[in-house]
Structure 1
Amino acid sequence: MPRLSYVDKLRAVGQFEAGTRQRDVAALFGVRPGTISKLVAKFRATCDVKDMPPTGRPRATTPEQDRFLTRATLRDRSCLQRGCRHGFSDRYRRSVETSRRALCQLLHG
């Protein structure tokens, strides 16, 4: 199922408010009718269809840093012991523990 953009969400609510059936609006945007129902309910309650901000702590590493760490590790498996983590820490000013955690998450899911 595709994820609707903010503009598509507003268009879907507008279509529904204009009198188009919920089933037809859902077919037009390629989503389930329940999705349209939830969008309309959210719009009526808050006058907006924005997603809530994600919960949890923000990531400590950027996608660029993740790519660097992954590539360095895959190039030389022996650097897992100390070299890559310390090189990463020096380059990006992150703790060795942060780089270890990021590397484990990238390589093992």
Structure 2
Amino acid sequence: MSCVSEVDRHRALGLLQAGLPISEVSLRMNLKKTTIFRVRQRLHETDTVSDRPRSGRPRCTTQRQDRNLVRTRMNNRFLSASASSRHTRERNNQRISANTVRRRLSTSGLRARRPYIGPILTQRLLHQRTLWAQEHAAWDRIQLRSVVFSDEPRFCIDHADGHVHVWRRSGERNQANCVREHDRTHLGQPRRVVPDNKTKLLCDKLGL
């Protein structure tokens, strides 16, 4: 009966109250007799012809399983939703879709985003970067505008160039476990592209 609008339900009740039999109302409104009977029965039982409230589709995961999904993602930010779906099926013998995983993570504020890609920072690189920052800490904006940083060309030797997403919350872009580290192998000298050829070419002291 849910396919019958409330307007038609009230119209059917009006015809019944006018004294027409169910068969006549069914013929006039092109509805089944059982539908007309249920409309009248619904009015007698609930004093309304509106649909009863429904609980909706039952959740396929428990709150504990939802917490496990979030905990697993916090330990491995780069694990895909499809992989989580497979792991849940193998661990709990329960089939859930990748979309279900995405919805559960979204409820906790986790979204799949393009990760910030940074180099593998060894202790030597961290020391060199600290020294470089200290040497140029007094530079103003005009001086910084004359520098163009470039790290190309490169070869990808430790990962695929395909789309990889990281699950993170807003403001976690530069968080250590949300950064995708990789090694960059360079060829040639540092490059600069400047229309007026006035940009200074600085030696690469960052170890990149």
* TM-score (ref. length: structure 1): 0.49
* TM-score (ref. length: structure 2): 0.29
Instruction: Determine which structure has the larger strand proportion and give its number.
Output: 2
Q: Which has the larger radius of gyration?
A: 2
Instruction: Determine which structure has the larger helix proportion and give its number.
Output: 1
Which structure ranks higher in relative contact order (CA pairs < 8 Å, sequence separation ≥ 6)? Answer: 2
